Chains A and B, each alone.
Chain A
Amino acid sequence: MHLKLRNASVALGLLLLSACSSVQPWVKPYERDRLADPVMAWDRDALSSAFLDHVYESREGSRGGTGAAGGGCGCN
C-alpha cells in the first residue's frame, strides 16, 4: 500500500513538473538587476564558507545540508 502511494506520488510529481514546461518566467531578465547585485550572491566567498562549515561540522553532531567538503577534522 505504502509502495503504491509512493509510486503514485512520484508519478504525480513528475507529471506536475512536466506541466511546468509551459511556465513563463514571471521575473523577466531585465527585471533582475537587484538580484545580480553582489550583495544578493548566495555565497560571495566559497573558501570562507567552506572553512566555517568545517569548523561547525568538526564540533557539532550535525553535518550536511550546506555543501561543505569532506576531509579530516583536526579535532583531537
Chain B
Amino acid sequence: MMSPAVLSKLATLVALAGLFLGRPAAADVLPDNRADLFYSKYSGGGMDISTYTASAHVNATENIGLDYSYLVDKVSGASVDVLSNASVIKDERKQNSINATWIHDKTTYTIGYSNSKERDYISNTPHFSLSQAMFGDLTTITLGFSRSRDGVGDNGGTANNPKVTWVGHAESREYDLGISQILTRNLIAGLTFDVITDDGYLANPYRFVRYYSNSGLGYDQGSQVYPDTRTSTAIEGRLKYYLPYRAAITGVYRYYRDTWGIIGDTVEIDYTHPVRNKWIFEGRVRYYKQSHANFYADIFPYADAQNFEGRDKDLASSENITIGAKATYAWLPDGWKVFKRSTVTADISQVRFKYLDFRDIKDYNDTPAGGDYAAGTEPLYHFNAMIYQLYLSAFF
C-alpha cells in the first residue's frame, strides 16, 4: 500500500504533468539507430562477475523507436559475509529488456518491460515514463513509474546441484521526477527526485547475524529478520559546464534517506576532454558515505536481542571512493556502408570499500574466539574492486 505522503507526492506530479502537457510546441526527434556490444568485468571482495550485453535501438517510424537489450551476468565466488557461512557459488543472471518510445510534439512517452532471472531470484519490472520539453526547449521534465515483482529463493544445494527453496516475494514501486534545465550557453543543470517503496521479503537469505555466546568462537549465528516494508527518498542535483577550450566538467551530489535509518551522501566530479574528432577522454572521482540501518549490528549481545536484526554489510556504516578513466575512439568517424559512424570505448575504475562497523570474520573462523581476536574485536572489513568495461557502438 502507498502511504498518504507518497500519494500526495504522486498527485502533485500528475497535476504538474497535466499543466505542462497542455502546452503546444514544435516536434522533437528520436535518436539515431544504434547497436551496442558491451563487456564488463567486476572483480573484488571475493566476487568475479562478467557481464555480456547486446542492445539495439531502431526507429520504426519518425515518431516511434524500439529498444531491446539482452544481458548475461556470470557470477563466481561469494562475498565475505557469505563466505563465513556457505560454500563458494557459481551463478548466472539473464535479463531481457524491451522499450517502446513514442514522440508526439514535445512529449516523449516510453513504456517498457524488463525480466531478470537467476536460479534463486526472479524479477519482472514494467515501467512507464513521459518527458516534456518546454520554454523553448530550455526545460525538460520527466515523470517515471516502475513496479517490480520479485521472487526470492534460497539455494541450499551446490553450484552443480542446486536445491532452491522459494522463501518469499517482494514488490517495489518507484516514482521519479526529473528536471533538466539549460541555464546559460555553457551551463546545464539537472535535478532528480525519486521515491521507492518496497513490500515483502526484503532480506538476503544467504547472510546471517551473529551474537555473543559461550561457543568456542565466542559467537553463534542466527537468521536475519528485516522489516517487510521500506520507503526511500533520493534527490540528486547535477551541473555540467562547458569549459572555454572544448571540454566539460560535471558536479553531482545525491542525498539519500530511508525508513530503515540509512542516510547516504554521494559526491561525484567528472571531466570530459575530446582530442580532435577522434578521441574523447573522461576521468571521474566519486565518493560515497552512509550511516548504518537502525537494526544493523556486527554482533548482537544475545540471540533474538531485537525484533529486527541484520548483519548484511550493505546495511553497515561504510564509505567508498571510486577513481575511473574512460577513452572513446571514433574508429569509423565518416561511416562505412550503412553505418554513419562507430566508436569503441574502454573504461577502467577502482573502488575502495571501507566498512566502519562491519568486521572481517572470514579469516578468524577458528577457536578459540576467532584466533587472535575476541568476538567483536576482529579487524574492520575493507576491500578494493576493479571494474573493466569494453564496448563497441555502431550508429546507422
Chain A positions near chain B (C-beta within 8 angstroms) = 6, 10, 14, 17-18, 20-21, 23-29, 31-32, 34-35, 37-40, 42, 44-45, 47-48, 51-52, 55-56, 58-67, 69-76
CB under 8 Å from chain A, chain B span 179-205: 180, 182-186, 188, 190, 192-196, 204
Partner of A39, one of B55, B236, B272: B272
Q: Is B353 an interface residue (CB 8 A)?
A: yes
CA of A23 to CA of B139 in the docked complex: distance in angstroms?
Answer: 11
Number of inter-chain CB pairs below 8 Å: 191
Residues of B within 8 A of A76 (CB): 75, 78-79, 82, 89, 91, 204, 206
Partner of A27, one of B19, B176, B182, B192: B182
Chain B positions near chain A (C-beta within 8 angstroms) = 8, 12, 15-16, 19-20, 23, 36, 38, 40, 42, 47, 49, 51, 53, 55, 69, 73, 75, 78-79, 82, 89, 91, 93, 95, 97, 114, 116-118, 121-123, 125, 135-138, 144, 146, 148, 150, 172, 174, 176, 178, 180, 182-186, 188, 190, 192-196, 204, 206, 232-236, 238, 240, 242, 246-248, 254, 256, 258, 260, 262, 264, 266, 272-274, 280, 288, 290, 292-293, 314-315, 318, 320, 326, 328, 345, 347, 349, 351, 353, 387, 389, 391, 393
Partner of B40, one of A24, A35, A51: A51
Q: A74–B73 contact, CB under 8 A? A: yes
Given the known A-B contacts A26-B138, A40-B240, are A72 and B116 also in contact in the complex, defined by CB atoms under 8 Å? yes
CA of A17 to CA of B288 in the docked complex: distance in angstroms?
Answer: 35
Q: B188–A25 contact, CB under 8 A? A: no
Expressed in whole angstroms, the minimum distance between the Cβ of A1 and any Cβ of chain B is 16
> Which residue of A is nearest B23, CB measured?
A21
